[in-house]
A and B are shown apart, each in its own frame.
Chain A
């Protein structure tokens, strides 16, 4: 039978997770409780974290830190996280957003995980605490690559450099059912410019690979260029580099490949969905 333990500190939770292979963190419950309800999770210990640090937001400074237990609804209530409102609003419906956490979203299987796509485009690092030590920051890409292995420790927070110009951060979720629906795909792009040219743009996709991925071909095509029609055309041509979309109940891999360059082009050009 399943047991539940409440941990008053992040360290306590991290310590239990490192020592007990059958311990599992439950934050909002939107992923874990589904497995409980459907009988896939019947043994072990669920850990709840009541440490206030788990739900802290520090968004004003140059480096933003958001606790892993911060919910999508909390993100939506923070005006200084306005650039993350589009991805947060795309997660489920209002009740899901009350519960779903940004930490949990890191573990959501494709085609879910749209908030993580946004974090990837922001150059986020994941603060992981293994055992009773202190946390260390892991680049999100490395974290995602090691996700299926498990055993990385307790995710306590997400950090990223605050975008200097929030209007340079774009996000779009493509789904059939609106406003709430599972992604056919999602695209996040951070496009800082200096002197009219793009400087180290970061572009990320959701549902175009087994985990959220960087669109490196697009980034190379855009870096150092002005965001004009020629650059957008070059970006479209490089759009599918590295993509391995799945065929699932939402869409086929063929369909995802067909529409991705179209939606990327529209997003970069500021055209509607």
Chain B
């Protein structure tokens, strides 16, 4: 079966690939384009480690048809840092020990980034709801919540999306 072309902007750069018609965005990003930030954890939409931003909205790349992203803006955790300078959320995660094995971290950062872009001063409940689609098996979530609140307090939402 012939592969289909897909073109989009990934973390600010124009990228293109060829995909099986029913191929998902996660495989295209990882295997097609070498962006390993989104990961495979369940393939069912339960764990959130595949979370990316499509036109600024959080979406699960394992459940997204790659061809549906033609012409869109896609952002992953790989694009958060500005060269050697960490995004305030990334720095806050470090400062608050918000990762252990690190497998859920790119998805968590992406969900947090989407939250702060639309709500720069979230309450704790709003932070909890924003990461409610991301499972962490290591930290017990408290350091992650603390990191996101700290980043918000430091103005992470105002400065950059």
> Is the A/B pair a real complex?
yes
Binding site for B on A (CB under 8 A): 1-4, 6, 26, 28-30, 33-34, 36-38, 46, 48, 73, 92-96, 98-99, 179-180
Main secondary structure of the interface of A (DSSP, over half): mixed
27 A-B pairs in the complex with CB atoms less than 8 angstroms apart: A2-B22, A4-B21, A6-B67, A29-B65, A30-B60, A33-B62, A33-B64, A33-B65, A34-B63, A36-B22, A37-B62, A38-B43, A46-B21, A48-B65, A48-B68, A93-B48, A93-B129, A93-B133, A94-B111, A94-B115, A95-B60, A95-B111, A95-B133, A96-B60, A99-B63, A179-B129, A180-B133
Q: Is the CB of A99 within 8 A of B64?
A: yes
Q: Give A73 to B57 CA distance when docked, in angstroms.
A: 10
Q: Is the CB of B45 within 8 A of A92?
A: yes
**Contacting residues, chain B, for A94 (C-beta < 8 A):** 58, 111, 114-115, 129-130, 132-133
Those of B52-107 within 8 Å (CB) of chain A? 54, 57-60, 62-65, 67-68
Tell me which of B22, B115, B133 contacts A92 (CB under 8 A): B133
Q: Give A272 to B140 CA distance when docked, in angstroms.
A: 27
**Contacting residues, chain B, for A29 (C-beta < 8 A):** 63-65
A4, A28, A46, A94 interface centre (most CB from chain B within 10 Å): A94
Q: Is the CB of A34 within 8 A of B43?
A: yes
Total residues of chain B contacting the partner, CB 8 A? 32
**Contacting residues, chain A, for B134 (C-beta < 8 A):** 93
Which A-chain residue is minimally distant from B134 (CB atoms)? A93
**Contacting residues, chain A, for B129 (C-beta < 8 A):** 93-94, 179-180
**Contacting residues, chain B, for A46 (C-beta < 8 A):** 21-22, 65
Q: Give A179 to B51 CA distance when docked, in angstroms.
A: 18
B52 to chain A, nearest CB (A): 9
Main secondary structure of the interface of B (DSSP, over half): mixed
**Contacting residues, chain B, for A3 (C-beta < 8 A):** 1, 21-22
Q: Is the CB of B1 within 8 A of A180?
A: no
A123 to chain B, nearest CB (A): 30
B146 to chain A, nearest CB (A): 18
Q: Is the CB of A36 within 8 A of B64?
A: no
B37 to chain A, nearest CB (A): 15
Flag whether B44 is at the interface (Cβ < 8 A): yes
Flag whether B24 is at the interface (Cβ < 8 A): yes
Flag whether B20 is at the interface (Cβ < 8 A): yes
Q: Is the CB of A96 within 8 A of B45?
A: yes
Which A-chain residue is minimally distant from B61 (CB atoms)? A95
**Contacting residues, chain A, for B131 (C-beta < 8 A):** 93
Given contacts A34-B44, A179-B129, 8 further A-B contacts (CB under 8 A): A37-B44, A37-B62, A92-B45, A94-B58, A99-B60, A99-B63, A179-B128, A180-B129
Which B-chain residue is minimally distant from A99 (CB atoms)? B59
Q: Give A38 to B131 CA distance when docked, in angstroms.
A: 25
**Contacting residues, chain A, for B68 (C-beta < 8 A):** 48
